[in-house]
């Protein structure tokens, strides 16, 4: 029985730089009565490191397995490099996959694990040796080829799994939370290594994680998912500073949420009743929300956007609120402040090098922020907020 030859690999080989685009068009996945994914659209450019980010149960792994071909969509279309993948099993798709538990073959050596796919394709022995060697070098395991899998550390196993998939030179490598079982130190090392390898090969990587820091560190683009829908697809900085909605803003990075109520909207400005009275904020801060006067809202402020001023300082054009410092914690290069402004608790982060001018815990202060830094969100619906964000 001859192996199913992934002809896509062979065909696309000459134009390598252009390989690895993914087009997901109105894809839905339902099991019996439960909808896991609904109406998903996503276009991934070739050579991108894209992360599917979201809380557990948001459908990110389902999307990955749909792209892989382990499951078929209930509706919609998935195309890789412009070819419709409908009905194709994983081995007929130009993909590689690194599993959460790695799924290394325990009865093979490191080398034989990496050689497995090549042997199935009847690659001649000298070429096979050369490829296995060069991909083991790529992941930094060139000296461990003869080891048994059980003799490897967790990080080394990750690298074997990576080499085993990459040696087949897939257009797309799918990674299903492969780092989640590692300790923090090792995880950080491998995050950097993964990113470097991806840059070197310019293969499209689709990486699933629930760790927003990991996503921010590695990705060119992040797909934030929740409740079976894509909340936002953008670069990490854009997602951080221009979150599409409150769910995304809360999920990626730390966010101060200040409840308020819309007083009036005019061209260019929104007036909001909040702590310390009525504030005029630029309408550019509205994030996918067009509220009517009287509607509730949440003002979102990133901790590093909050300035702490001595009681007598000049605030420039900022909005200033009176407050007290509750805590001041030194965290290496930054100082983390917990502030209170009326009933509102706020977190601010300042550079440690500016520490001399900043108040100590217990001191009264003035809390200031630039109106342009305020993001205005629609509040999350109450039950949805509990289950982490279902869009109405």
Partner 1 sequence: MTETQAPSPAKALLLLPVLVLLGLFFASVFQLFSHGFADADGWSLRYFRQILHRSDYQVIFARTILSSLTVALVSVALSYPIALLLWRLERWRNTLLIVVLVPWLVSLVVRTYGWLVLLGPKGVINGMLAWTGIIQQPLALMFNDLGIVIGLTHVLIPFAVISILSSLLAIESNLEEASGVLGASRFQTFRRIVLPLSLPGAFTALIVIFLASIGAIVTPIVLGGMSHQFVGSQIYQEVMYTFNLNKAAAWSICLLAISFLSLLLLKAIERRLIGPLE
Can you give the binding site for partner 1, defined by CB under 8 A? Answer: 1, 3-6, 68, 70, 89-91, 95-97, 99, 101, 103-107, 116-117, 120-121, 150, 164-165, 168
Structure tokens at 26: 């109105």
Q: Determine contact, residues 334/351, Cβ cutoff 8 Å.
A: yes
Structure tokens at 159: 């690298």
Chain-centroid distance of CA 295 in Å reads 31
Q: Cα dihedral sign for 178, 181, 184, 185? A: negative
Classify 278 as helix, strand or coil.
Answer: strand
For partner 1, the closer CB: 123 or 244: 123
For partner 1, the closer CB: 65 or 287: 65
Place of tokens 């081995």: 91
Find the shortest distance in angstroms from Cβ 68 to partner 1.
7
For partner 1, the closer CB: 103 or 326: 103
Find the shortest distance in angstroms from Cβ 5 to partner 1.
8
Find the shortest distance in angstroms from Cβ 61 to partner 1.
12
Measure the CA–CA gap between 256 and 59, rounded to whole angstroms: 27
Find the shortest distance in angstroms from Cβ 20 to partner 1.
16
Q: Determine contact, residues 155/189, Cβ cutoff 8 Å.
A: yes
Structure tokens at 265: 């909207």
For partner 1, the closer CB: 207 or 247: 207
Nearest alpha carbon to residue 71 among 27, 34, 20, 103: 27
Structure tokens at 334: 């930054």
Find the shortest distance in angstroms from Cβ 288 to partner 1.
38
Q: Is 331 left (phi over 0), alpha (psi -120 to 50) or beta?
A: beta
Find the shortest distance in angstroms from Cβ 6 to partner 1.
7
For partner 1, the closer CB: 91 or 153: 91
* Burial (CB count <10 Å: 0-12, 13-18, 19+), residue 152: middle
For partner 1, the closer CB: 47 or 117: 117
Find the shortest distance in angstroms from Cβ 250 to partner 1.
33
For partner 1, the closer CB: 1 or 184: 1
């Amino acid at each position: 029985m001859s192996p199913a030859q992934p002809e896509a690999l062979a065909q696309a080989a000459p134009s390598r730089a252009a390989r690895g685009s993914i087009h997901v068009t109105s894809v839905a996945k339902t099991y019996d009565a439960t909808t896991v994914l609904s109406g998903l659209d996503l276009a991934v450019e070739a050579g991108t490191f894209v992360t599917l980010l979201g809380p557990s149960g948001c459908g990110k792994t389902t999307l990955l397995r749909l792209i892989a071909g382990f499951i078929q969509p209930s509706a919609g279309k998935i195309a890789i490099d412009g070819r419709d993948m409908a009905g194709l099993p994983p081995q007929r798709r130009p993909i590689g996959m690194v599993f959460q538990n790695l799924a290394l073959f325990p009865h093979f050596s490191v080398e034989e694990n990496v050689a497995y796919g090549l042997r199935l394709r009847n690659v001649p022995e000298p070429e096979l040796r050369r490829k296995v060697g060069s991909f083991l070098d790529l992941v930094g395991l060139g000296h461990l080829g003869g080891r048994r899998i059980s003799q490897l550390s967790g990080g080394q196993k990750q690298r074997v799994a990576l080499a085993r998939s990459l040696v087949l030179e897939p257009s797309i490598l799918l990674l299903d939370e492969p780092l989640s079982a590692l300790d923090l130190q090792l995880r950080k090392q491998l995050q950097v290594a993964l990113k470097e390898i991806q840059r070197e090969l310019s293969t499209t990587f689709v990486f699933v994680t629930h760790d927003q820091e990991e996503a921010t560190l590695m990705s060119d683009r992040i797909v934030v998912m929740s409740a079976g829908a894509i909340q936002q697809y953008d670069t990490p900085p854009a997602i951080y500073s221009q979150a599409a909605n409150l769910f995304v803003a809360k999920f990626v990075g730390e966010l101060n949420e200040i409840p308020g109520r819309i007083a009036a909207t005019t061209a260019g400005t929104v007036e909001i009743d909040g702590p310390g009275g009525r504030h005029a904020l630029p309408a550019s801060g509205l994030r996918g929300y067009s509220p009517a006067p009287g509607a509730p809202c949440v003002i979102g402020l990133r901790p590093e956007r909050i300035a702490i001023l001595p009681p007598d300082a000049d605030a420039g054009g900022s909005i200033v609120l009176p407050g007290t410092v509750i805590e001041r914690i030194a965290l290496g290069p930054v100082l983390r402040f917990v502030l209170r402004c009326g009933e509102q608790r706020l977190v601010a982060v300042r550079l440690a090098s500016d520490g001399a001018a900043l108040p100590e815990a217990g001191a009264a202060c003035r809390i200031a922020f630039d109106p342009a830094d305020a993001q205005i969100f629609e509040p999350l619906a109450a039950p949805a907020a509990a289950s982490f964000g279902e869009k109405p």
